Structure 1
């Protein structure tokens, strides 16, 4: 069984899938006239600028809605996970510094894929008899494409991935980190996690939105503050780290640390794959959160999607990569250490309690992902089985939190990877077929 799942994961995330993702991003980027660059003043003004002015982001106009910022934070909570720490370290270990450049490439084009997803999510959402918004990738597959089987396939894969990648993998990463750093037994951290998850989830979307609105900025600020301390200490090495990233992005082979180097093929594959895993552009997952926004213009919510990818990959992932590179920890010894340990070593090279700091940051990121992914799964459960399905799903999601923290989920990780990829196939197909409906500010 384990061999089958491993083979399935390798097949799903092969070269063809990465080209599929990148192709979608390139297509939407060209169609938009490189909107993420040429209209940067517009999308920043409608997101960051709107926050500064407090314009249409703080109070939802309808009880059935959440604010633009709350829906953004819920989506960002799911994407800002262990991938921003462990995933970046893994990209460096198996793809070399050049992988970071290709991670940026995937993020650059992924911004417009996420824009398109969120635009369609707002365009095709609808209200049920209780006045609640119903939206998500499966909704624009059914209402836009008229293809319910495709929508059901997406929903089933998303539901499965939420238990694995969204819950058990995150819980285990959190528990292992806390046990190594603070000697907290996995049973204790898992029990506490299950209780807090239950408290948050039983409050519905409003409570989830309020919780993530408060948690995401705080956890991001804490992590970035620690990272900036490391970068300040090694500030004379930052320029060299950037130079290394660009130099190795296009080299056929590069010697690192006196050992065999990385090929360009490795850099491209690891960089693009880790970028997709981190920001989830093209998976269709975050559409469920963005579709709940009180926004009326689909273009505005699309811009929040651009900001989501920017913060997740261009900002947080880049900072993690720089911390590892400037600290000169042995990222090339891929067979000897894991990604979390490597990043912990980088922080500990400057901060005496660096490993403990990273364990705490990982716990916050993992917990936020668990909350965000619950909402994604709940929307698909509602689509497949209605309110009763959501109640059963919520109970099961809370119940598996404890065992998830205690079981090493190697097989679950690979199965979730495969399910994520299988989510992406119907979503990317829908985006290609509905792509001409996506509109952009300043472009007819």
Structure 2
């Protein structure tokens, strides 16, 4: 069974989904005339003009735009940001980061479209705003089958199995750094998680708007200290990334025997897996944002991909390359730990453990929320209590068990849920174009009025 699922995943994630996800991003980039460039400033102003650690309380009508962004980033910035960049470099060479950037650039337009559609088709279940791909697949495409397939897949992939993977990472990190038994860590995580879940959208929004800015600043500052202390290696690191994208062996002097094909494959796959553009997860958060026009949340979605890939993932890569840790031939989280230990001394291992706690636990909150939206879609509010109980159990079990089959099944269902989402994105593209044109037309009218008033 394990071998079968592994072989399916190697084809699904190694080839099929990479082309589908990148193709969709390229399609939307052309269709929307580079919306991720043209409307980047708009998105930046909406995010950083409204940043707060204590916004208005979320409720039945949804969250503020910033709270929705924080919930989306909470899910996006996870263990993949620590281990993903390291795995990409170890398997595809430094050039993999270039392809990670390229896939993220196209992914910005994909996530913009997901957020717009999620806003257009958001709904109310028992007087509470909710939404996501299942809603725009059912209402927009008119396909109950694809909507149910998506919902079941995401509940299994993220709500249950994915959260086991995240809690397992936290348990392992604390065991390695502090000698604490993983199961004890799992029990504490389960209790805290359960407390947050019971509070519903109000408590989730309150937690994510605080934890996301704090964890981002903590990681960015720590990474910059390492990079600046190795500033002489900064330009060589950038050269390794750019040159290695087209000639991996020459960029590292043959340390990593990667080919261009491997650089592209690992860079694109790890980038997409981290920022989740096109995967149908983060639209659940963007759907419940209280905005006047769907495109207002779409441009915010662009910034979430930028923060995840161009800031957090890139800093991880630069820490690895500027400290020379690539020579160790480690991979995954071990490579990242080694890089921070070289950069911060003995505190480096503790730093990674703390960052992992922030990243992985915030992802657990985000992924729980995404699963909850789909439980509501399938069963209404009556399905929430058993779902919450099961998620808490899976979080605790994740730290005690490491079953490779569960990990592979998480990837499989993750891949399955992408397909109905991409079908909907392509099928409803004309609606996204119409919405953007309407928004930009209204902005022009407002700007003209301001000009005339002045």
**TM-score in terms of structure 1 length:** 0.94
Partner of 1:147: 143
C-alpha displacement of 1:142: 0.5
Structure 1 stretch displaced more, 137-146 or 405-414: 405-414
Partner of 2:431: 437
Partner of 2:98: 101
Q: Do the aligned residues in 2 keep the contact of 1:72 with 1:305 (CA within 8 Å)? A: yes
Q: Do the aligned residues in 2 keep the contact of 1:123 with 1:298 (CA within 8 Å)? A: yes
Q: Do the aligned residues in 1 keep the contact of 2:279 with 2:417 (CA within 8 Å)? A: yes
Q: State how 1:67-82 maps to structure 2 within 5 Å.
A: 67-82=64-79
Q: State how 1:97-176 maps to structure 2 within 5 Å.
A: 97-128=94-125, 130-164=126-160, 166-176=162-172
Q: Distance in 1 between matches of 2:405 and 2:99?
A: 27
Q: Distance in 2 between matches of 1:224 and 1:308?
A: 15
Matched, 1:377 2:385: no
C-alpha displacement of 1:436: 0.8
Partner of 1:217: 213
Q: Do the aligned residues in 2 keep the contact of 1:172 with 1:409 (CA within 8 Å)? A: no
The two structures, once aligned, show a CA RMSD in angstroms of 1.9
Partner of 2:414: 420
Which of 386, 393, 399 is 1:399 aligned to? 393
Which of 327, 339, 342 is 1:346 aligned to? 339
Q: State how 1:9-24 maps to structure 2 within 5 Å.
A: 9-24=9-24
Q: Do the aligned residues in 2 keep the contact of 1:256 with 1:332 (CA within 8 Å)? A: no
Partner of 1:301: 297
Q: State how 1:178-193 maps to structure 2 within 5 Å.
A: 178-193=174-189
Partner of 2:451: none
Matched, 1:265 2:261: yes
Q: 5+ residue gaps in structure 2? A: 443-454
Partner of 2:198: 202
Q: State how 1:193-342 maps to structure 2 within 5 Å.
A: 193-251=189-247, 253-254=249-250, 256-259=252-255, 261-330=257-326, 333=329, 337-342=330-335
Q: Distance in 2 between matches of 1:210 and 1:64?
A: 15
Q: Do the aligned residues in 2 keep the contact of 1:254 with 1:262 (CA within 8 Å)? A: no
SS at match of 2:402: coil
SS at match of 1:426: helix
SS at match of 2:142: coil
Q: Distance in 1 between matches of 2:207 and 2:97?
A: 32
Structure 1 residues 82 and 253 mapped into 2: Cα distance closer, same or farther (>3 Å)?
Answer: same
SS at match of 1:127: strand
Structure 1 stretch displaced more, 269-278 or 355-364: 355-364
Structure 1 stretch displaced more, 148-157 or 165-174: 165-174
C-alpha displacement of 1:177: 0.5
How many corresponding residue pairs? Answer: 437
More helix by share: 2
SS at match of 2:257: strand
Q: State how 1:29-108 maps to structure 2 within 5 Å.
A: 29-51=29-51, 58-59=55-56, 63-108=60-105
Structure 1 residues 106 and 145 mapped into 2: Cα distance closer, same or farther (>3 Å)?
Answer: same
Write out per-residue CA displacement over residues 384-427 of structure 1, whole angstroms, 9 at most, x where no aligned residue. 11222221111100111111011124322221111111111000
C-alpha displacement of 1:307: 0.6
Partner of 2:449: none
